[in-house]
Amino acid sequence: MSKSVNQVTLLGNITKDLELKYTPQGTAVVNFSIATNRSYKDKTTDEWKDIAEFTNVVFWGKSAEVISQYCKKGNKLFVQGRLQTRSWDDKETGKKRYLTEVFGNEFTLLTPKPQQVEATKPQATSEQAEEIFDPQPEQQEMVVEPLEAKDTTGGEIEGFEEWMDEEEKEGAT
C-alpha cells in the first residue's frame, strides 16, 4: 500500500473580517480567505512583479471560535491543514460545481497586539524630572503571542452535511 500526503501550509493575510456561524447542531464554523504573495522577475521588462493568490480556508469547533474572536482583516496568519474539495449541483444551471478549500487544523496569529496608548500622563515627581529633561529614547518591545489550536474532531464534524447543504443554498442565491 502506497502512502500519500495531503498537507497545506499557508502564511498570508486575512482578506476580510471573519463571520462565525453555527451548524444546526451547534458546531462553530468560520470561512475566510487568505492572500499569499509571490514575486517574480518579468523576463521581457526585467522588472519585479507581484502576484497574489487567494485561498479559501475553513475552521471548525473551538478553533473557529478562537480565530473569529482574535483575527480580523489584514492580520497575518499561519495556517496548516489539508485540501478538501466539495461539490454540489447548481440549482440555477444544473451544472456540477466544485470548491477546493483548506480544511484547517492548526493556526498561529502572527500579528502583534496593538500597544495601548496612555491618554494623559501624570505630573512628574522630582525623581522623574531628570528623565524629563534628559530623556532617553524609549524602546518598546514587540509582543507576539501565538495562538494555536488543533482539530480534535478527528475529521468527523457533527452537522457537516447539513452545513454544506445550507452553504449550497446560499451559494445558489
| C-alpha–C-alpha distance, residues 24 and 163, integer Å | 8
More confident residue, 1 or 123: 1
Query: Would residue 126 count as lying in a domain?
Result: no
The amino acid sitting at 101 is E
pTM reported for the whole predicted model: 0.63
**What range does the domain containing 80 cover?**
1-39+49-112+141-158
Query: Would residue 120 count as lying in a domain?
Result: no
Each as own residue / partner, the long-range contacts of residues 152-159 (CB below 8 Å, 24 or more positions apart, any chain) are: 152/61, 152/62, 153/60, 153/61, 157/23, 157/27, 157/60, 157/61, 158/23, 158/25, 158/27, 159/23, 159/24, 159/25, 159/26, 159/27
Query: Would residue 85 count as lying in a domain?
Result: yes
Which triple of cell numbers denotes residue 48? 519585479
Query: Would residue 132 count as lying in a domain?
Result: no
Which triple of cell numbers denotes residue 148? 494555536
> Based on the structure, what is the number of domains in the chain?
1
Query: Would residue 153 count as lying in a domain?
Result: yes
Residue 150, pLDDT score: 54
Query: Would residue 9 count as lying in a domain?
Result: yes
Query: Would residue 146 count as lying in a domain?
Result: yes
95-138 pLDDT, tens digit per residue, is: 999 999 999 999 999 988 765 444 444 444 445 444 544 545 55
127-166 pLDDT, tens digit per residue, is: 544 454 454 555 555 555 555 555 555 555 666 666 666 7
Q: Could you tell me the CATH number of the domain that includes residue 84?
A: 2.40.50.140
The amino acid sitting at 16 is K
113 backbone dihedrals φ, ψ, rounded to 5°: -65, 140
Query: Would residue 82 count as lying in a domain?
Result: yes
